[in-house]
Structure 1
Amino acid sequence: MTLSGKTAIVTGSNSGIGLGIAQELARAGADVVLNSFTDRDEDHALAADMTQEHGVSVRYIKADLSSADACRALIAEAGACDILVNNAGIQHVAPVDQFPVEKWDAIIAINLSSAFHTTAAALPMMRAAGWGRIVNIASAHGLTASPYKSAYVAAKHGVVGLTKTVALETAEEAITCNAICPGYVLTPLVEAQIPDQMKAHGMDRDRVIREVMLARQPSKQFATVEQIGGTTVFLCSDAAAQITGTTISVDGGWTAL
């Protein structure tokens, strides 16, 4: 599954799932544009380290994806976009009647609207190149719901709908658009939550993972960032050329319930 000669832009990719995806795309031979809203020395150092490790071009471009203009400017500054991975996302948990309006607006902007803006900017580049892959990182919450996550669930359902629409609009071209729907993924952010959950529930590590954190994940195992990255690489391969407008769940059976 070589992606040599392709340029991939991965939003929200200086850590966690986005970084895992970027690493696997680079390992497959793609040049990669990393992105987040920060502009630190370590962001650019990360790109330099990946360049050295994989022998491809890796750049870091700052963009605040809560801004429509910044989303479109990210694609323009990259200069090429054969593969677009819309991964950036934030979360907030609260009942609907207590949900802060500013948090709702930010989640919809970053988790959903950013994917619209980057896709709209990238499609002309893909059409000019005669090839393209769009992979939207949705969630199990793009297919089902949980209480107190109204904005996140609404945004991720929206991402799935956007995915289907873009796929239909590009169906006769060599461009595909699909969504990956992860369940709980073991990222540094999730790992950092485990000790607090152990204290809160008075459980050891294994029990709190199985009974609290992975209560809705039948496999009782976290997905890994490498697995999400590998699924992304597959969707970018020739083997997936006729896979478009669909969702792939990487959720340990969550949405089978």
Structure 2
Amino acid sequence: MQLTDKTALITGAAGGIGRAIAERYAREGARVAVADLDLAAAEATVAEIRANGGRAMALAMDVTDEAVVDAGVERIVAEWDGLDIAIANAGIQHIAPLHSLTFADWRKVLAVHLDGAFLVTSAALRQMYRQEHGGCLIYMGSVHSKLASPLKAPYVAAKHGLLGLCRTVAKEGAKHRVRANMICPGFVRTPLVERQIPEQAAALGISEEAVIRDVMLKDTVDGEFTTLEDIAELALHLAAFPSAALTGQSVVASHGWYMQ
């Protein structure tokens, strides 16, 4: 197993991509802290992991609340004596054209993605810098970290911003044996994406089938969604990579939607 006795914190891990990564990490021997705004859902994910022989704990975590994030990391360290991997995965979406987007909605999206990632980073680094072996930060970006799409201004801006944070962590963390990398998925059929389909259909005046075919997947090489398993596999590779040869990078998994 590739992550035997490693300790990982994953935010937004009660469902979707975060849950898929948590389950994969647990199968690879990691102790996984499943952090989510929805504690009941986090506990359900933990119960499933434990039922399959894994080790996990549930944390109620609003990633925009500094005290809550700090307390979550402190609990992980107290119970498991360290933190090896932290994944800033929590995210939300808001579909609206810029001219009618409210400042409150703009700030809400950026707060979860950017402020949340910063707070998780800060708390994780304070622990990882104390450890002789360092650690690993992984940020959940998007193809929208590289490209823009209409109606998604705050999401696109936030995902672009995560690139800068990731690269800065890679620079600052190197002397402490901390690596940082970013995953940039294409469209994965999570609840977040499922909600976008009717929203974009209404905003663009087209059918939901057309949103999938002509908006979401039109630039892929095969018209396929990226899968939860694809992203979990990539997250495992980044966490298990043995050296700083792989740090400060953004890895795109998008069925060829974006090629770099």
Equivalent-residue separation in structure 2 for 1:236 and 1:29 (angstroms):
12
Q: Does 1:139 align with 2:148?
A: no
Q: 1:168-207, aligned counterparts within 5 Å?
A: 168-191=171-194, 201=206
Question: In the alignment, which residue of structure 2 is the partner of 1:232?
Answer: 235
| CA distance in structure 1 between the aligned counterparts of 2:102 and 2:20, rounded to whole angstroms | 31
* CA–CA separation in structure 1 for the residues paired with 2:103 and 2:211: 32
In structure 1, the residue matched to 2:93 is 91
- RCO higher in 1 or 2 (8 Å CA, sep ≥ 6)? 1
Q: Secondary structure at the match of 1:162?
A: helix
Query: Residue 176 of structure 2 aligns to a residue in which SS?
Result: coil
User: Which amino acid in 2 is paired with 1:187?
Assistant: T
The match for 1:27 is 27
SS at match of 2:33: strand
What per-residue deviation string (whole Å, max 9, x for no partner) do you get for residues 16-72 of structure 1?
1111111111111100011111222x431320220121x232111001122233222
Which of 39, 62, 74 pairs up with 2:72?
74
The reply on whether 1:51 has 2:54 as its aligned counterpart is no
Q: CA deviation at 1:171?
A: 1.9
**Do the aligned residues in 2 keep the contact of 1:14 with 1:35 (CA within 8 Å)?**
yes
Amino acid at match of 2:117: A
Secondary structure, counterpart of 1:255 in structure 2: coil
Find runs of 4+ consecutive structure 1 residues off by over 6 angstroms.
192-200
SS of the residue aligned with 1:13? coil
**1:112 maps to 2:114:** yes
The one-letter code of the counterpart of 1:57 is R
Cα–Cα, structure 1 residues 105 and 247, in superposed 2: closer, same or farther, change >3 Å?
A: same
Change in Cα spacing, 1:181 to 1:202, as seen in structure 2 (3 Å) is closer
TM score, norm. by length of structure 1 = 0.89
TM-score normalised per structure 2: 0.88
Root-mean-square deviation (CA), in Å? 2.4
3-state SS in 2 of match to 1:172: helix
Q: Alpha-carbon deviation of 1:236? A: 1.1
**SS class of match (1:4):** coil
Quote the sequence identity (%): 37
Which 10-residue stretch deviates more, 63-72 or 158-167? 63-72
2:102 aligns to what? 100
TM-aligned CA deviation for residue 251 of structure 1 = 1.1
What amino acid is the match of 1:171?
A
In 2, the alpha carbon distance for the partners of 1:135 and 1:215 equals: 28
- What is the number of residues matched between the two proteins? 253
Instruction: Report the Cα offset of residue 188 of structure 1.
Output: 4.3
Segments of 5+ residues of structure 2 without an aligned counterpart are none
1:216 maps to: 219
CA distance in 2 between partners of 1:134 and 1:121 (Å): 11
Q: Match for 1:13: what amino acid?
A: A
Equivalent residues of 1:82, 1:125 under 8 A apart: no
